[in-house]
Amino acid sequence: MDHLIGREKIGAGRPGAGVARRPGPSAAIKVVPSAPAVLYVVGARPNFVKMAPVIQQMRARAEHLQHVVAHTGQHFDRGMSDVFFEDLGLPPPDYLLGVGPGSHGVQTARALERVEEVLLKVRPQLVIVPGDVNSTLAAALAAAKLEIPVAHLEAGLRSFDRTMPEELNRVIVDQLSRWCFIHSPEAAANLRREGIGSDRVFFVGNTMIDTLVQMRLRIRESTVHARLGVQLDRYLLVTLHRPALVDGSLFEPVIEALRRLAEELPVVFPVHPRARARLQDDVLSAPGLHIIDPVGYIDFLCLQARAAGVITDSGGVQEESTFLQVPCFTLRENTERPITVSQGTNRLLGLRPEALERIPSWLARPRMNLPAPDGWDGHAAARVAEELLAAVGARRPIEESAGAAYAAAR
């Protein structure tokens, strides 16, 4: 990360060290050296969206705490990372860990080591992690080994497919967490089956929807449609990133199916960096197929809100589409977010590119108009903050509760 030049390095001189500290606090962060701290760990685009309203609510309600943000850098491309901090109005992270790409083992190991360094330096009262990426697993594991309580946003989601790396992360992180914050009844049932007591499970709603609600005005003001030359409600939006589709033999059939769809309805495809490398020149110039670089959060939501339909393999996009009441077609065999299917907005197509050909006929059917799921109301983060701050206020100082673990780690 070239933009980290000049920042203090934690562990400098040791191979692989890459934890960078901002040289001074942002004006938005009131840092009191002796104040207890809360550490927020993010690493990928969905994390930023889910965590932003929680950070905002915690800061507004607890100025006496240090609110420290560590960005692992799991999404290392600017289009997949920095732009989301800008769009969400978040100050720069306090720590940039530079984890970057790699195999699941390498990426998780780097994040585990570097998050532990931050934990030993900050000594937080608690650690908050969102979602199911490798950074989430690493942060929860590092905190648990130091006996620091963990709060997991979006707990209890299950696809019941253990071949998905995210599924393993979800199961492990929930077992390590003191607070499992859920947004659906199915999540509560999943945690109950796995032996997690009700005293650790809290229904708060969907913090990702909080961010969407906060950004409504900016979404309406986006000029992305004019820039792309597409008509409102007359295009399909596509987002694909999972290895089964982007890295395997299914990629070419999917692209061919999108080319055929584009003959009937324009297709807008913000391409993940990994996918762009596999696209041929004839695809990039196909009529009606708009292959574009990754866009910021605001522009993406604007595209999503005014699409005729969305084709995705992303969990978060399934939920956003449900809230926006835009038909969603998911190229997966399963989903950890079944509430999107039961709401009638999401259709699972399996890993079958040929199923995309039926989308125009599905779009011709009348849309369902259902209320948003319970707790998807823009106030989930406030409920998270209320629960955590009540608990932190009653906790002993971290030096007492985890002093032995810190000493052993040093």
Q: Tell me the C-alpha distance between 16 and 185, whole Å.
A: 42
Q: Tell me the C-alpha distance between 257 and 247, whole Å.
A: 17
* Residue 225 annotated as catalytic: no
Exactly one of 71, 241, 272, 290 is catalytic; which is it? 241
Q: Which residues contact 61 (CB under 8 A, 6 or more apart)?
A: 385, 386, 389
**Distance between first and last Cα of the chain:** 28
Task: Check: CB of residue 153 under 8 Å from CB of residue 140.
Answer: no
Number of neighbours of residue 78 by Cβ within 10 angstroms: 12
Place of tokens 């934990």: 119
Task: Check: CB of residue 28 under 8 Å from CB of residue 56.
Answer: no
Q: Tell me the C-alpha distance between 320 and 229, whole Å.
A: 24
Angle at CA of residue 121, ends 116 and 125, nearest 5°: 85
Which class for 91: exposed (0-12), middle (13-18), buried (19 or more C-beta within 10 A)?
Answer: middle
The DSSP 8-state label assigned to residue 373 in this structure reads P
Place of tokens 């395997």: 248
The residues that are catalytic are 241
